[in-house]
């Protein structure tokens, strides 16, 4: 089995484990949150509508389009991450060294894992903003490297700009409804809202003193 295949399987396994962990945590978040103070919970619930809009805003056709974009960008970017991690020293000598960055081998590994893990997160729609941000960061550095070495050559920049545009589109528009994020995060917010309502009701219950007249006769 080749090194690139092992890296791909490792990336897929780690992303699947994170997805299962988030799914499991969703079942227990309401139990854990009821013992906390209401102030942090209130702050979290204040941004809940924006999070819901980010994850559930697109309609059916738009979500299908975002799914296809995620599969395309993520599926193709995995290949670039595998190439970097298959020979990180060669990538460091060829590309990173031209940027005059310290520790080129470290940045070579960082770029490879960012593209590999970020691609899987984008494909699954799990922590999509982080995955899209990782791909966007590597493509911005790649665009800068190409411009600094070859100038504004469209034949060199076109592929990088396509990946960059697709990653930015996912970052700004969200993963769509066919994603782990859209299935898990709204359910977590529902549990949080129920826990917040329960804590408010409990805090509003106060004992009422009752005066009993002992001299009253039945």
Question: What does the domain layout of the chain look like in residue ranges?
Answer: 3-202
Specify the pTM: 0.72
What is the Cα–Cα distance from 125 to 148, expressed in whole angstroms? Answer: 33
Confidence grade of residue 68 (pLDDT, cut at 50, 70, 90)? very high
Confidence grade of residue 184 (pLDDT, cut at 50, 70, 90)? confident
Least confident of 23-27, 123-127, 149-153: 23-27
What is the structure's pLDDT at 152?
87
Confidence grade of residue 34 (pLDDT, cut at 50, 70, 90)? very low
N- to C-terminal Cα distance for the chain?
Answer: 91
Q: What is the dihedral of CA 93, 97, 102, 108, to 10 degrees?
A: -50
Mean pLDDT, the chain, integer: 78
* Cβ atoms 66, 173 nearer than 8 A: yes
Average pLDDT over residues 181-190: 78
């Amino acid at each position: 089995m080749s090194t690139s295949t092992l890296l791909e399987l490792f990336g897929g396994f780690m992303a699947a484990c994170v997805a299962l962990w988030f799914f499991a945590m969703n079942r227990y978040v309401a139990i854990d949150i009821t013992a906390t103070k209401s102030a942090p919970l209130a702050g979290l619930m204040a941004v809940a509508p924006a999070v819901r809009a980010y994850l559930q805003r697109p309609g059916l056709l738009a979500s299908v389009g975002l799914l296809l974009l995620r599969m395309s960008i993520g599926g193709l970017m995995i290949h670039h991450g595998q190439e970097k991690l298959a020979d990180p020293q060669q990538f460091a000598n060829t590309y990173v060294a031209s940027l005059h960055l310290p520790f080129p081998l470290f940045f070579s590994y960082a770029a490879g894992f960012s593209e590999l893990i970020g691609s899987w997160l984008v494909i699954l729609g799990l922590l999509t903003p982080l995955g899209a941000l990782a791909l966007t960061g590597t493509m911005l550095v790649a665009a800068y490297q190409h411009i600094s070495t070859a100038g504004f050559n469209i034949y060199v920049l076109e592929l990088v700009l396509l990946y960059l545009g697709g990653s930015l589109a996912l970052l700004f528009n969200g993963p769509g409804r066919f994603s782990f994020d859209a299935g898990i995060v709204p359910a977590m917010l529902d549990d949080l809202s129920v826990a917040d309502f329960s804590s408010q009701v409990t805090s509003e219950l106060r004992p009422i003193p009752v005066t009993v007249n002992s001299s009253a006769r039945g």
